[in-house]
Amino acid sequence: MKGTQLGEFEELVLLIIGVLYPEAYGLNIRQEIITQTGRKVAIGAVHSALSRLQDKGFVKSELADATHERGGRRKRLFQITASGKRAMEKNHELRNSLFNQISDLALKGLNFGETN
Amino acid sequence: MKDPSKKISPPKLADQFLNWFCKKELVEEIEGDLFELYKDQLELRGWFRANLVYWYHVFHFLRPFALRGKRKQANSIIMYRSYLKTGIRNLKRQRLASFINVFGLATTIAISVVVYVLLERQFTLDQFHQEADRIYAIQSDIDWNGRDETWGKTPLLLGQVLLDEVPQIEEMTRVKVTSGIVRFDDKVFNERITFADPEYLSLFSFPLMYGESSALVSKSSVIISERLALKYFDDQEVVGEEVKLIIDGVSHLFQVAGVAHDFPDNASFSFDFLVNLDNLENIYGTKLAQWDDVRNESVFTFIELDGSANLNVLESSLDKHKAVSNEINQDWPIQKFRLEPLTSLARNAQFISEPYASGSTPQILMMFAIISALLLISACFNYINISVSMTQKRLNEIAVRKVVGGQRKQLVAQFMTENFLLCLIATIVGAVIGTYLFLPGVNAIFSGSNYAVNLLQDPYIMVFLFGLFLILGLVSGAYPALYISAFKPVDILKGKRQKAGNNRLSRFFLTIQFFLTFVAIVSGLLFTSINEFQSEKDWGYNQENILVVPVDNQEQADEMLKLAAQSPRILGSAGSQSQIGLSQNQGVVKLLDERMTVRSFTVGAGYLETLGVRLVTGRTFNKAFSTDVQHVIVNENFLKKSGMDPSAIEMTSIELDGENVTIIGVVEDFRFDDFFTPMTPALFRLNDNGYNYISFKTVSGGLTTTEQVVMNDWANLFPDSPYNGFFQEEVFDGFFESTGALNQIMQFVAFVAIVLSAMGLFGLASLMVMKKIKEYSIRKVLGAKGGHIVNLISKQFLILMGMALVLGIPLSYFLFDFMFEQIFPDSLDGLSSVPFLMAIILLGGVIFLTISSHIIQLLRMNPVKNLRLE
């Protein structure tokens, strides 16, 4: 089962939920993705990712109070769960450890004694 | 910033759509997010874009996670795969029918794409200005001799007074457009000169390529367009160069302080030579600090408001300024100052006299939209016709599917899948044809237009196409799918399926199509005849062999007249201040207690003779009579409108603009406007000073050689002035060009309509023949003659055509008769019957040609083969 894996976009959304805590909801997550990464994403894509994250148990959510701003509709605020945090840490560690294993040579290439 | 009076309401239909497909528990949060997004977009880009964005995002929620209903089982997905496969096979098997369907739909979709782009341009005109939704143009509603008119201009001082008085006005600019001669080295041309307050460049978003926009504060600076920079300097980086502006013979030196970027395609106004408004004082002697006549010293006034301004309050506070202005100008009192948003200025330009923005005509665009919708419907009919008839071949497949347990729902799903597949192909093909073939075509027809769309990057066109695809798929697919799936399998397998009825709808559709085609052909032919009509029509004076040279001063006029006297090719010459078809004054004639607006042409002696204006009674102007400056010559329409007695007209005294003048002659009506405009009263006055134009009457065929001589002389005599001569017959060229463009489009539409109905007919005929092939074979075996079979087949289609004509001839006659009366108010003769006859012949010919291939096939075949097959 790939159920507990964290996709690239899902991870991005998860991170941004953390950044925006405790005010993370669909639209400002999208806004944050656009400003931070310059990617153009539709609001539908964000909601889709959020629903997947919730199915996998990485985030939990609750409805906030209705505001005039949204024409009287409530917004759903998201928050990272413990397993979400673990999944993020696992990804982060994996990435760091793999990055650290890359030799200098592979990164810089052969420079024949030139220093830069 | 928030304005509670403005209610924010996203498109309702989109909301309903969302509610329909989306899971209940998700709707609230999604709607909330979309609502917030909508609000932002509304502020940023206006309602049109905001609505489109809203739709775009609603469609983006068509994802599995949000969809309502039970989780789809894997089984149904497999079934869809099977539907798709069968669909593709079917399309491949029925190549001809598929081609007709795809081609027909794609062509009409391509036309829709063009119409969409044209409409989109219309709705986004001037929206690129960053503060577009806060900029307003002040308009003056005027009592124009008892008729309400809206003028685009206001008194010169109004803007300045408002700026001091109303705190909500953030910025203000006044604009006046004149023309003048611009000279650099030996390059001398007439150019459009824009005088504006320095805020012009901060109010409007016309970024500069080189230079600083703040330089406009200096009176000796000029900002020029990229076009002008290239024209005079062959270069764009020309800041610091000096150019001469020559107005009324006096030259003024300006230093280029900036070059503007090429203007966006959706700019309805722009500038070429932009200088500080204060220059009006030293160039024209305008008194900038006085309330003056609204007619003579008026400017366009634009203001930018901050968010807190209430338009109604502001408009009513403007009222107090009209009194000052009306005191000076009592003839056309201002009723009200009105604020027109910049975003709708171009669209409403047609209702404003002398607007700053040049708008196009939405009526023509609406006509295109209707035409493209009709063509789409026509293509849908084709599709429905063909797919219903095509089921004839698939009856067994349907029956077997049902017998082995296929439900009706699944059959509908199968046919709808096939149908959507076909529509998808058509949409893609159509979008590509529209963008890469039709749009460049439109650009070629309307010179100077630059319509384009980026299919892959413009989300709005994608939403539009997707919507079109859905609608087409549903409209064209629903009937065949429901109809076919309702067949009873037992009946089919027993071969008992009733034949009656199934063609009635097809026939009805085909009749409608013939009808639409007929109307399209007639309109194409009628529009073609407009141009002929115009050129054959009597213009009321002699347009041919007249060369007109505009002059700036007395010296030029004298030299030109001297030249005319020397040249043997020039039969006559005359000077004038006005020129027929080009420029004239407005005058007001007082009759008893009524006032009448007239066109007043100020001309020199001999002008009427040179231009060949035809005298009815009385005499023309004579230099020898010094009192002739008090005399006028009127046109026949003047007599008609004023109700004067034609026999006793001579030496009647009338009051013109407060002055008593005497009528000495009457001339036939002559065309100073195109034929779209009704004839109005006009009169000639004599003034042998201050000529603006010199007209030469040349020997027949001597126009070009004469112009060459005049041009050479001009270049030697007046190196500081451009030669702007033209032929009198060219005066309405612009008008002919626009009707010509309309012409080409109508002809194209007629052509597409013909092709579409021919294709529909071809498809239907081949299926009808196929179905009855045994009948025909038996008839042949039993000795039927070829003519008999021709009769049998063509009769049914000719009946349909007859019905279409019975419907089409009277309807289109009344429609076009009404339209032409609107377009050409002065033509008394009704429509000619020629286009109708030609359209009947054309339609009949197309029908006959289309079915003749089937007939030939039938006649040649060996009947035994068809009968033996079983």
Q: Measured between CB atoms, which of A42, A63, A71 is closest to B57?
A: A42
* All residues at 6 or more sequence positions from B325 whose CB lies less than 8 Å from its CB, including other chains: B155, B158, B291, B294, B334
Residues B714 and B749 in one domain: no
Inter-chain CB proximity B33 and A43 less than 8 Å: yes
Size of interface A-B (CB pairs under 8 A): 67
- Looking at the DSSP bridge assignments, the partners of residue B274 are B194, B223
Does residue B426 surpass a pLDDT of 70? yes
Q: Measured between CB atoms, which of B32, B36, B65 is closest to A48?
A: B65
DSSP result, B411-455: HHHHHHHHHHHHHHHHHHHHHHHIIIIIHHHHHHHSTT------T
Neighbours of B358 (CB within 10 A): 13
Inter-chain CB proximity B33 and A45 less than 8 Å: no
Q: Which of B781-795 are b and which e, b meaning 16 or more Cβ less than 10 Å from the residue's Cβ? A: eeebeeeebbebbbe
Residues B250 and B316 in one domain: yes
Give per-residue pLDDT as tens, B571-624.
Answer: 888 999 888 888 778 788 887 667 788 888 999 888 988 988 988 888 888 888
Inter-chain CB proximity A63 and B26 less than 8 Å: no
Inter-chain CB proximity A47 and B31 less than 8 Å: no
Residues B156 and B222 in one domain: yes
Q: Give residue A111's pLDDT.
A: 60
Enter the tokens of residue B504.
């009635």
Judging contacts by C-beta atoms under 8 Å, the chain A residues touching residue B7 are: none
Residue type, B782: L
Higher-confidence residue of B350 and B662: namely: B662
Q: Please state the ipTM of this predicted complex.
A: 0.83
CB-side exposure of B140: number of CA atoms within 13 Å?
A: 27
In a domain, B559, yes or no: yes
Q: How many domains does chain B have?
A: 5
Judging contacts by C-beta atoms under 8 Å, the chain B residues touching residue A44 are: 57, 60-63, 66
CA separation for the pair B159, B733 (Å, rounded): 38
Give per-residue pLDDT as tens, B692-747.
Answer: 899 999 888 888 888 888 888 888 888 878 888 888 888 777 667 767 777 788 78
In a domain, B203, yes or no: yes
Residues B271 and B293 in one domain: yes
DSSP state at residue B22: B
In a domain, B499, yes or no: no
Higher-confidence residue of B734 and B639: namely: B639
- Please identify which residue in the block is written with the tokens 């027809």: B445
Q: Which H or E run includes B192?
A: strand B187-196
Inter-chain CB proximity A27 and B8 less than 8 Å: no
CA separation for the pair B799, B792 (Å, rounded): 11
Does residue A116 surpass a pLDDT of 50? no
Does residue B499 surpass a pLDDT of 70? no
Judging contacts by C-beta atoms under 8 Å, the chain A residues touching residue B15 are: none
Nearest to residue B799, comparing CAs of B502, B500, B381, B511? B511
Higher-confidence residue of B390 and B299: namely: B299
Enter the tokens of residue B198.
């320095």
DSSP state at residue B349: G
CA separation for the pair B794, B844 (Å, rounded): 11
Enter the tokens of residue B481.
């799918």
Q: Give residue B327's pLDDT.
A: 73
User: Can you tell me the mean pLDDT for B251-270?
Assistant: 90
Does residue B823 surpass a pLDDT of 80? no
Residues B623 and B698 in one domain: yes
Does residue A115 surpass a pLDDT of 60? no
- Looking at the DSSP bridge assignments, the partners of residue B246 are B181, B251
Domain ranges of chain A: 8-100
Residues B520 and B588 in one domain: no
User: Can you tell me the mean pLDDT for B770-774?
Assistant: 76
Residues B374 and B399 in one domain: yes
pLDDT interval class at B1 (50, 70, 90)? very low
Share of chain B above pLDDT 90, in %: 11
Q: Give residue B500's pLDDT.
A: 38
Give per-residue pLDDT as tens, B74-113.
Answer: 566 677 788 888 888 888 888 877 888 888 889 999 999 9
Residues B342 and B418 in one domain: no
Does residue B2 surpass a pLDDT of 70? no
CB of B29 less than 8 A from some CB of A = yes
User: Can you tell me the mean pLDDT for B828-845?
Assistant: 80
CB of B544 less than 8 A from some CB of A = no
In a domain, B682, yes or no: yes
Higher-confidence residue of B355 and B340: namely: B340
Judging contacts by C-beta atoms under 8 Å, the chain A residues touching residue B24 are: none
pLDDT interval class at B316 (50, 70, 90)? confident
Inter-chain CB proximity A25 and B34 less than 8 Å: no
Cis ω for the linkage preceding B355 (within 30 of 0):
no
Inter-chain CB proximity B63 and A70 less than 8 Å: no
Give per-residue pLDDT as tens, B109-156.
Answer: 999 998 888 888 888 888 889 888 899 999 888 877 677 888 888 888
pLDDT interval class at B3 (50, 70, 90)? very low
CB B430 within 8 A of CB B107: yes
Give per-residue pLDDT as tens, B214-251.
Answer: 889 999 999 999 999 999 999 888 999 899 998 877 88
| Euclidean distance between the first and the last CA atom of chain B, given in angstroms as a whole number | 82
Q: Give residue B223's pLDDT.
A: 94
Higher-confidence residue of B12 and A3: namely: B12
Distance from CA of B858 to the nearest CA of A (A): 58
Residues B352 and B388 in one domain: no
Inter-chain CB proximity B66 and A51 less than 8 Å: yes
Distance from CA of B463 to the nearest CA of A (A): 13
Q: Give residue B535's pLDDT.
A: 63
Judging contacts by C-beta atoms under 8 Å, the chain A residues touching residue B30 are: 26, 43, 47
SS3 B686: strand
Alpha-carbon Rg for chain B, nearest whole angstrom, is 34
CA separation for the pair B254, B744 (Å, rounded): 45
Judging contacts by C-beta atoms under 8 Å, the chain B residues touching residue A75 are: 29, 32-33
Give per-residue pLDDT as tens, B274-308.
Answer: 999 999 888 888 777 776 554 556 889 999 988 77
Share of chain B above pLDDT 70, in %: 92
* Percent helix, percent strand, percent coil in chain A, to nearest 5: 55, 10, 35
Q: Give residue B441's pLDDT.
A: 87
Q: Give residue B741's pLDDT.
A: 76
Report chain B's mean pLDDT, rounded to a whole number: 82
pLDDT interval class at B502 (50, 70, 90)? low
CA separation for the pair B57, B18 (Å, rounded): 10
CB of B17 less than 8 A from some CB of A = no
Inter-chain CB proximity B33 and A75 less than 8 Å: yes
pLDDT interval class at B396 (50, 70, 90)? confident
CA separation for the pair A112, B404 (Å, rounded): 76
- Please identify which residue in the block is written with the tokens 């027909």: B104
Residues B80 and B64 in one domain: no
Enter the tokens of residue B138.
């002040």
How many degrees, rounded to 5, is the angle at CA B520 between CA B514 and CA B522? 100
Q: Give residue B36's pLDDT.
A: 87
Domain that includes residue B478, residue range = 72-125+363-494
Nearest to residue B83, comparing CAs of B575, B311, B411? B411
pLDDT interval class at B254 (50, 70, 90)? very high
Q: Give residue B532's pLDDT.
A: 67
Q: Give residue B224's pLDDT.
A: 93
Interface test with B, best of A76, A77, A78 (most B CBs within 10 A): A76
Give per-residue pLDDT as tens, A17-75.
Answer: 999 988 899 889 999 999 999 888 888 899 999 988 988 889 998 888 877 778 788 88
Neighbours of B719 (CB within 10 A): 11
Does residue B428 surpass a pLDDT of 70? yes
Interface test with A, best of B25, B27, B29 (most A CBs within 10 A): B29
Residues B252 and B353 in one domain: yes
Nearest to residue B157, comparing CAs of B320, B314, B289, B280? B289
Judging contacts by C-beta atoms under 8 Å, the chain A residues touching residue B57 are: 42-44
Does residue B403 surpass a pLDDT of 80? yes
Q: Measured between CB atoms, which of B8, B30, B39 is closest to A47?
A: B30
Neighbours of B658 (CB within 10 A): 8
CA separation for the pair B87, B632 (Å, rounded): 80
Among B730, B752, B775, the domain-final residue is B730
Judging contacts by C-beta atoms under 8 Å, the chain A residues touching residue B36 are: 27, 69-70
Interface test with A, best of B36, B39, B52, B457 (most A CBs within 10 A): B36
Judging contacts by C-beta atoms under 8 Å, the chain B residues touching residue A45 are: 60, 63
| The domain made up of A8-100 is a member of CATH 2.30.30.40 | no
| Highest mean pLDDT, choosing among B204-213, B506-515, B743-752 | B204-213
Inter-chain CB proximity A74 and B57 less than 8 Å: no
